[in-house]
Amino acid sequence: MSKVLITDALSARATEIFRARGIEVDERIGLAKADLAQAIADYDGLAVRSATKVTAEVLGRPGRLRVIGRAGIGVDNIDVAAATKQGVVVMNAPFGNAITTAEHAIALLFAVARQIGAANASTHAGKWEKARFMGVELYGKCLGIIGCGNIGAIVADRAIGLHMKVAAYDPYLSPERAKALGVEKVELDELYARADFITLHTPLTDATRAIVNRGSIAKMKKGVFIVNCARGGLVVEADLKAALESGHVAGAALDVFAEEPAKSNLLFGMEQVVATPHLGASTTEAQEKVAVQIAEQMADYLEVGAVVNAVNMPAVSAEDAPKLRPYMRLARQLGNFVGQLAAAAPLKRIAIEYEGAVAQLNTRPLTAIALEGVLAPSMETVNMVNAPVIAKERGIEVGETKYERAANYASLIRVAAETGRGRLSVSGTLFADEHPRLVEVNGIEIEAELAANMLFVTNHDKPGFIGRLGTVLGDAGVNIATFHLGRRTRGGEAIALVEVDDAIAPAVLDRVRDLPHVKEATALCCF
């Protein structure tokens, strides 16, 4: 009989589902790290929320542990790399909190607009300060939504119901999807200039970290209100405090903070700030949804080996796994290559093509993992299971084409993306049926093995360029591991793909971009 350990407070429905499926359950809430590390060896599954920290140390000797289920979307409290290394599947419940988090954002909009927190404290203190708490209406105001995915779209729907005008910034939001939602798709600076209220619903990535800072606040309307129910790292709290003190920002409502649990914070005590302790997912309904979802997923895995919403394991049958494994690595690398080149450009369409022997296999998981690769550079929670859903929600068309004929290679996978800046495409194959190789970028032939740290340069084919590029890298102490070149025509467009030992610093990348004949230069992480 399989056994599951629950170490955070979950809805009782989770325990009921496990036991109904013939799985033994123990609840040991709040285990210390050392006790957790010792306990998991005796269980097949571990079910947690956010309080339990499943670190590499905890996973040092996992024993019989086969699956970790996170009742919620974020897996920041789980060392996924360590779990993967130990052969432990990590699952999450990505959609159960969406409505609850969106409703909390709307609640905070009302609270900050009407100064409910401060007025409540004043009234409880026996004061009657009607004139002091003059609020503003939401009706007719412009709400700027940064990140219009699943949660942002729900916030937009509720705001439209309040007769607010909604403008949304999201690189992945298509015009068709924006129209269907009833929102106006705008660029970020335009949103800053127009919005009376700004609410954040974007993941924390390198592109969104500190998106609300002194510079961006200066572009906002005087008297703007800011709401954050997404991730604390999106806001530079010191810059927000200064803007509140100057009056440029009229008020802020925060459910998340840079450091949590936030027992103290420089924004605490400010009358213009409404603060809640990360309550976005804290409703009875949401907690039951995620508990039921994760219990059912874990039970399915423990009983029949089905993998759903895994963040570190493809959804592949045992029969297909040996055949697909090398192709899955290739497909993800190609997708990730395209995703990093696309950067913040709006994605309109992603097309995956299969030629030769690979076209005769089950390509659905290959398409899913290629799509994950494209989206991963801009999203923190995407995986091969939810990537197709996310693409559909964002209005990104996904196409798959198979050509059973073989051209130059026995098998070939091509990943192409149409963006607001044009078309990108990369192709790859397997050497000796197991080693991924890049063989084409944007129609230019090149042969390279993708690696963890790479520099991709598009340039004009001119004498001396390679030497100057090598000099810039050498002067910066960057060691070159491999160097691959390709060109469209003599003297025409050329590309260079350089593997280096360590990640390239932004300053070095800027020096590469300043070289004569360079059109574009991008630091890539391909693994």
What is the rounded CA–CA span in Å between residue 440 and residue 447? 7
Distance (Å, whole) CA 212 – CA 477 = 34
CA distance 200 to 142: 14
Q: And the tokens for 71?
A: 């009742």
Residues 6+ apart with CB under 8 A from 438: 333, 334, 337, 426, 427, 428, 446, 447, 448, 449, 450, 497
What is the Cα–Cα distance from 239 to 245, expressed in whole angstroms? 10
Q: In what order do the strands lie in the sheet with 411-419?
A: 397-403, 347-356, 411-419, 422-431, 435-441, 444-448
Q: Report how far apart, in Å, the C-alpha atoms of 294 and of each of 51, 150, 255, 288, 361 are.
A: 16, 19, 24, 10, 30
Asked if 467 and 515 touch (Cβ cutoff 8 Å), the reply is no
| Angle (nearest 5°) at CA 400 between 399 and 401 | 125
Measured over the CA atoms of residue 193, residue 198, residue 202 and residue 207, the dihedral's sign is positive
Contact call for residues 235 and 228 (beta carbons, < 8 A): yes
Q: Which two tokens stand for residue 172?
A: 């992945």
Contact 5, 45 (CB under 8 A): yes
Record the tokens describing residue 369, joined without a space: 């993992």
HEC states along 63-86?
CCCCEEEECCCCCCCECHHHHHHC
Measure the CA–CA gap between 318 and 365, rounded to whole angstroms. 13
Joined tokens for residue 187: 């660029």
* Six token digits for residue 194: 């127009």
Q: Which residues are catalytic?
A: 231, 260, 278
Neighbouring residues of 292: CB distance < 8 A, sequence distance ≥ 6: 11, 13, 14, 17
Alpha-carbon gap, residue 189 to 169, rounded angstroms: 9
Identify the bridge partners of residue 376 per DSSP, sorted by sequence position.
Answer: none
Closest CA to 204 of 230, 237, 228, 173: 230
Residue 140: both structure tokens together: 């007719």
